[in-house]
Amino acid sequence: MAILVTGGAGYIGSHTVVELLNTGKEVVIIDDFSNSKQEVLNAIREITKKDFKFYEINYLNREALEKVFEENKIEAVMNFAGFKAVGESIKKPIEYYTNNVSGALVLLDTMRKYGVKTFVFSSSATVYGDPEKIPITEECKTGETTNPYGTSKLFIEQILKDLYVSDNSWNICILRYFNPVGAHESGLIGEEPQGIPNNLMPYVVRVAAGTLKELSVFGNDYNTPDGTGVRDYIHVVDLAKGHIKALEKLEREQKGLYIYNLGTGNGYSVLDMVKAFEKTTGKSVAYKITERRQGDIATCYADPTKAKQELGWEAKLGIEEMCRDSWNYIERHK
């Protein structure tokens, strides 16, 4: 029996595949390389010394997807496929809703056809909109997302809830990620955004590496200790391990719908991150304060208690490991 990982060559998908293989799981990956590279597959093999099956397909291609289910005994699906750039989603809503929402629907429908009902879904803290309280618990209200990317996550969560109501033999875990950063300690896999990065950490490492001139800090007049935005940065390897714990939970329960925040519970500001990066790597990061970025909120960090209690998972790696490993990856891939 195998775990099907959609988007398994991507940033979070590839780190999760490593953890799955390390725990002895059989893995089948599908990826269309729309935001990932083929080399990642060999890097996963190099890290784990294990192999997996791979299909270069888009999950909207129902016929190709059915072939994957025909040719393999799939026990569960982890869905990392999807577009994720907030700014781009505002310009391309049809592409985002088609790929993320319609893709998820084709995937779920195919799972149903083949009697596979165990599903782990990559959601995002973005579903909380401007959070009603900090730290954010899973009970906080969701909605009022500010861009099609976030709304696509919200829609898929709703689809999963409705699906479970319609047939409670489904076994679903929704994981709401906070801000994933870092890379595998080998430096062989990591985050490779196309073009100029939107997210803080990929931007910081490129300024330190000299490929970008300076970081724009988007506003220093927020109601936070130093005025810059506060987020819950989580090491991608911790995040990947959270998926293993989620899968174990589903294996124990056999049915149900579960929702967990995957965050550290610590909030760091933009300037905290810049200072931590400089201290850990010895590199300097030039920055200037600019206007606020539209759609940004002041503070967002998780209450990760539920995941600790019910999954036995908590983030172990700190801000230094996050900075060290992000830098290590870039050094190896300059």
What residues line the site for ligand UFG (CB under 6 A)? 84, 86, 124-126, 150, 178-179, 198-200, 203, 215-218, 229, 231, 270, 293, 296
Query: Looking at beta carbons only, is 110 or 122 nearer to ligand UFG?
Result: 122
Query: Residues 53, 72: contact at Cβ < 8 Å?
Result: yes
CA 126, 110, 15, 310 dihedral sign is positive
Query: Residues 310, 262: contact at Cβ < 8 Å?
Result: no
Q: Which helix (H) or strand (E) covers residue 176, if one does?
A: strand 171-177
Q: Which residues of 291-327 are buried (b: 16+ CB within 10 A; e: fewer)?
A: eeeeeebbbbbbbbebbeeebebbbebebebbbbbbb
Q: Which residues of 55-71 are buried (b: 16+ CB within 10 A; e: fewer)?
A: bebbbbbeeebeebbee
Closest distance of CB 178 from ligand UFG, Å? 6
Report the C-alpha gap between 297 and 145 in whole angstroms: 11
Closest distance of CB 124 from ligand UFG, Å? 4
Closest distance of CB 187 from ligand UFG, Å? 21
Query: Looking at beta carbons only, is 40 or 86 nearer to ligand UFG?
Result: 86
Phi/psi of residue 226, each to 5°?
-110, 10
Provide the phi-psi class of 261: left if phi over 0, else alpha when psi is between -120 and 50, else beta.
beta
Query: Looking at beta carbons only, is 7 or 229 nearer to ligand UFG?
Result: 229
Query: Looking at beta carbons only, is 124 or 171 nearer to ligand UFG?
Result: 124
Contacts of 307 (CB under 8 A, 6+ apart): 242, 245, 260, 261, 262, 313, 314
Query: Looking at beta carbons only, is 10 or 52 nearer to ligand UFG?
Result: 10
Number of alpha carbons in the 13 Å side-chain half-sphere of residue 123: 31
Exposed / middle / buried, residue 194 (Cβ in 10 Å: 0-12, 13-18, 19+): exposed
Decide: helix, strand or coil at residue 42. helix
Catalytic residue among 11, 97, 128, 149: 149
Query: Looking at beta carbons only, is 48 or 199 nearer to ligand UFG?
Result: 199
Report the C-alpha gap between 191 and 189 in whole angstroms: 7
Q: Which residue's beta carbon is nearest to the bound ligand UFG?
A: 229
Query: Residues 80, 7: contact at Cβ < 8 Å?
Result: yes
Active site residue 329: no
Closest distance of CB 169 from ligand UFG, Å? 31
Calculated CA dihedral for residues 183, 180, 275, 281, nearest 10 degrees: 0
Query: Looking at beta carbons only, is 99 or 118 nearer to ligand UFG?
Result: 99
Catalytic residues: 149
